[in-house]
Amino acid sequence: MTVPSDRGFSRRSFLKGSAVAGIATTGLTAAAHAVPAAPESFGPGRHEIALLVNGKEQKVTVETRTTLLDALRDGLDLTGCKKVCDRGSCGGCTVLMNGEPVTGCLVLAMDAVGQSLTTVESLTEGDTPHALVQNFVKCDAMQCGFCTPGMVMSSLACLQKRGKPTEEQMRTDLSGNLCRCGTYGRVMEAIQRTAAGGTGGGK
Amino acid sequence: MKPFTYVVPKSLAEASEAGKQPNTVLKGAGVDLIDRMKERLQTPERIVNLLPLKDELAGVAVEASGELKIGATTTIAQLEQHEALANPALAGLQAAAALTASPQIRNRATVAGNILQFTRCWYVRSEAFHCLHGGRGPTCLAMTGENRYHAVLGWMDCVRVHPSNLAPPLLALDAEYSTRLGDKVRRRKFTDLFPAEPRAQTAEHTLEAGEIVTAIHVPKPAAGTRTAYCESREKLTFDWATTACAVKVVLAGGKIAAASVVLGAVAPVPLPRPKAAALLLGEAPSATLFQKVAEAAYAGASPLAHNDYKLVVGKAIVREALEQATR
Ligand SMILES: Cc1cc2nc3c(=O)[nH]c(=O)nc-3n(C[C@H](O)[C@H](O)[C@H](O)COP(=O)(O)OP(=O)(O)OC[C@H]3O[C@@H](n4cnc5c(N)ncnc54)[C@H](O)[C@@H]3O)c2cc1C
Ligand code: FES
């Protein structure tokens, strides 16, 4: 799939770009125009990259300036991660990169090539939703729901890292996710229930 | 964001060659850079990504000499969690890392990027305002505008503050930094990284275009060294400091044999306060002594219309840091 190119990209700006070398090994492809001894470079035009999302390698066309958040949402239709502040200040766009939560709005999609990404969609892939998701529902850990996917991802990372987190650890691990409805208490309840059920580490 | 060419260097030599080209910027994680590019405050034609140079730039190691070497692209989370930091001599550095931003940002942001980040002044960081430090207007708008979060010390014609959490404890620990520019490799004192006269038209740091910070070195702390870092903020977590203080004390026989005091978030550069630190020498820790040091740390302050609270709060933070380091 392709990220819409209505963000100021033009053929002219593409042609202004410097040497572009095609490399297959990293899963990146670009118009080949190899210049010896010059570093590899991409863009500014569009090109295809491969992202490893939820265990599957997926091709997506991006510009060098496309953020991971935009590549996931607009390119791969993984709209669980939300674009809220787009400046790293709310956590709505939280996804896991190599198991660690990151804000996709401040990561270039190019930087995510070769990294293992996990989005909230992975938790509802099978027939039964992940225990954490079930516990979010049981504990009524959402109101408007907009911060929820990000909250779930930070909660998942907390469980995977800590096993049975203490309240202080939960507070630390959730501190990058803002909820204007104030559901924090119930989110922590959902984490604790999941930890007690012993299903935090997997499905 | 304006379109740009994304350069993937295979070696430091390639990176520094590419970094010297006009209209080119170096990128760590890009947390600060992408933010500024979204605001169109920075519109480079080329970005040189330093993250692939893991062997050269990432990781924390204790060298044979006992010196701690922190690779430039080590993330703030990796620094915070490194076993070498579980040491009273480095407690200030660890606390400063742990208090930075959010888990999501600490997992990405690099140590060098944190130290080299651009100011958070809301006038400079908004395209709508035309101020001198941003190169878009004739004067510092914060000086007479909304300046709650701005400087109270050491400012000249621009009242921005230096926001880095990591810089004050590194200064307190007498850290050094290595850089590479073309073939030139240099190692200097951390104080050289920040401008002596932080004017509006001076950059946040003294690096030349394309000069890559490769590592930060913390000398082996003397026996009895203890550091602490404290900050005031408006929220309990995930907030910028309104004032910050890093201290180092070396205790010998109940007396303070060596000390440094460095302030953060109150001046255009992270600000060592050697005169305040000198008051600690030869003395035993006490509340009265710490009060004197706190007063001296803020001596000569010139608060603005909306930020004189920083003097009261900032002094309490100096005392708290000293209490923690000598507890
Ligand atoms: C919501 C939010 C909250 C935050 N809260 C805090 C906070 O509480 N305390 C705090 O200290 N910071 C805070 N930050 C700032 C954050 O820590 C920095 O933006 C981050 O550390 C920058 O690191 P980076 O690797 O992303 O740098 P980049 O954005 O990649 O680079 C920053 C600058 O440094 C230059 N640079 C980077 N690496 C090198 C190198 N090796 N050699 C030469 N130049 C280099 C780049 O050219 C650029 O100019 C916050 C940021 C956000 C978005
Ligand atoms: S949208 Fe990324 S942190 Fe708010």
Q: What are A68-80's pLDDT values in tens digits?
A: 999 999 999 999 9
Rounded to two decimals, the ipTM of the complex is 0.95
Inter-chain touch B2–A172, beta carbons under 8 Å: no
Inter-chain touch A175–B3, beta carbons under 8 Å: no
- Asked if residue A21 belongs to a domain, the reply is no
Give me the amino acid identity at A40.
Answer: E
Q: Which has the higher per-residue pLDDT, B133 or A3?
A: B133
- Asked if residue A93 belongs to a domain, the reply is yes
The confidence band for A5, taking pLDDT boundaries of 50, 70 and 90, is very low
- Residue A27 in this model has a pLDDT that exceeds 50: no
Give the span between the Cα atoms of B2 and B69, in whole angstroms: 36
What is the rounded average pLDDT of the residues B17-23?
94
Give me the amino acid identity at B146.
Answer: E
Give the span between the Cα atoms of B230 and B165, in whole angstroms: 10
The confidence band for A25, taking pLDDT boundaries of 50, 70 and 90, is very low
- Asked if residue A36 belongs to a domain, the reply is no
Q: What is the pTM of this model?
A: 0.93
Find the helix or strand (DSSP H, E) in which A191 lies: helix A184-197
Q: Which residues of B, range 100-139, sit inside 8 Å of A by Cβ?
A: 101-105, 107-108
- DSSP H helices, B255-308, are 274-278, 287-297
- Asked if residue A14 belongs to a domain, the reply is no
For A190, the domain range is 46-195
- Residue B259 in this model has a pLDDT that exceeds 50: yes
Q: Find which of B1, B2, B4, B6 to mutate to test the A interface (most A CBs within 10 Å of its CB).
A: B6
- Dihedral sign computed on CA atoms, order A58, A64, A67, A73: negative
Inter-chain touch A110–B30, beta carbons under 8 Å: no
Computed over its alpha carbons, how large is the radius of gyration of chain B? Answer: 19
- Residue A15 in this model has a pLDDT that exceeds 50: no
The pLDDT tens digits of the residues spanning B270-294 come to 999 999 999 999 999 999 999 999 9
The pLDDT tens digits of the residues spanning A165-177 come to 999 999 999 999 9
State the distance between the two ends of chain A, measured CA to CA, in whole angstroms: 29
Whether the CB of B288 is below 8 Å from some CB of chain A: the reply is: no
The pLDDT tens digits of the residues spanning B312-326 come to 999 999 999 999 999
- Asked if residue A128 belongs to a domain, the reply is yes
What is the rounded average pLDDT of the residues B121-136?
92
Determine the residue of chain A that is closest to B7 in CA distance: A41
Residue nearest to atom 3 of ligand 2 (CA): A88
3-state secondary structure of A108: strand
Domains of chain B listed by start with CATH number = 54-116+161-218 (3.30.465.10), 225-325 (3.30.390.50)
Q: Which of A37-41, B9-13, B124-128 has the lowest mean pLDDT?
A: A37-41
To the nearest whole percent, how much of chain B has pLDDT over 90? 98
Instruction: List the single residue in A17, A111, A175 with the smallest CB-CB distance to B237.
Output: A175
- Residue A10 in this model has a pLDDT that exceeds 80: no
- Residue A86 in this model has a pLDDT that exceeds 50: yes
To the nearest whole percent, how much of chain A has pLDDT over 90? 75
Instruction: Count how many domains chain A has.
Output: 1
- Asked if residue A18 belongs to a domain, the reply is no
Domain of A114, CATH number, reads 3.10.20.30
- Residue B209 in this model has a pLDDT that exceeds 80: yes
What pLDDT, on the 0 to 100 scale, is given for residue B2? 94
For residue B241, give the ligand 1 atom closest to its CA.
Answer: 8
- Asked if residue A51 belongs to a domain, the reply is yes
Neighbours of A59 (CB within 10 A): 14
Give the span between the Cα atoms of A93 and A106, in whole angstroms: 9
Give the span between the Cα atoms of A101 and B79, in whole angstroms: 17
- Residue A33 in this model has a pLDDT that exceeds 60: no
- Asked if residue A125 belongs to a domain, the reply is yes
